[in-house]
Structure 1
């Protein structure tokens, strides 16, 4: 593989996705409305209902909106990662993926470029959310010695959720199936995590089966990695879970997009179907 050619292709794909996103003003607005509603309405309504005890990574009591802010950043990353799956299905149905995947580059590199483009868009949307949240009075400790840790956690989470979207795009046959598939992924993944409530509260409330699911949910570890990174604390095994999930999802997606060895919907279309 020619390194210069590969880097040019990587940059071209990322640039195409970013420019397309910039032209779609409504896409950014829709990406921000959902978490901002949670922040401005849900957090305000439950500010005095849920008591957040002093627990890692916090050294003192915090407002509820500060607690859920990393989870809402994760929501932005999650929804954009899933939306990338929709874009992949659309490109496949329109024949664009056929042209892209026949480029004189390894197929996994093309998919990696798409994944990097998805992560870049996710991070741009997350940054926009953090700025608007700051304007609403919810400040997160982004700047300081912990900044590299925060960036690593955000990039890791964006790549993991983008890889999950990439894997799902292998199995979604048509655009009409997208909404149903996403409902079985996005909502369980988000609500059965620590995005809105601490893990110990689930165990304390007696919802043991939810606690077990949340404990092994990779989205929980993505949120916790980001939450601990904001305060410069050790996130434990969270980075290993996130990076391991990223590697597994990407490997399975690359296998699924290989017509010789793949599985799922792509391998059942035959030579006449879209790539």
Structure 2
């Protein structure tokens, strides 16, 4: 069994305050025997005021956070799967970047969010991530973590099964889906999508989430989850507020499920449509 920790956050517009919260969570999680701390999307900065966010991202010292997180992982003795943080891109836009930092040191693994959230919700909410962010260009699978091969995704990626099919083909044992889900989409789709991605990938899914009302005015759904490869929800942290949650991961469960439903082994290329 491998013990993991999920940090359900209520990140705000001050990255130093958000970093301090992660420091505290890492220390507590390591003290409880967790091998990895998973945090949500936009853990270090959650700010929909893009002019203000640009000043923060461009401020002196902001680019030091990945190195500070790497130091934290080593000092606390726990791997950190940072859900994501915004980083500057040469185009003038930003990247939404997930980081995996090992307590053993070395270069962090990273993944840049592929699918950008450009939607108009029936509630009147409008989101245009592509106005501020560049999409990523590669998938990411981190080898040799305490939960085996760990696939990295971010939030809206969950709606694109082809990404998870590929991570399944790569035999990921666990897939991180950190998020800052809206309340309307969370109520409608969060649980069913997380369970579906776990089932079709025959892998554990770990989804650390933002929760509650944030300093920038948005409200997020919470319900950080751990789902096993059979689709069973092992942990649901609810939507009341931030906090730490723990779960035991049994990697033997993966082979057990893959023997029962060998969909990855049985996969075939989809043929072209027959001409009419």
State if a TM-score over 0.5 links the two structures.
no
Greater relative contact order (Cα 8 A, min sep 6): structure 1 or 2? Answer: 1
After TM superposition, the score normalised by the length of structure 1 is 0.29
After TM superposition, the score normalised by the length of structure 2 is 0.28
Between structures 1 and 2, the one with greater helix share? 1
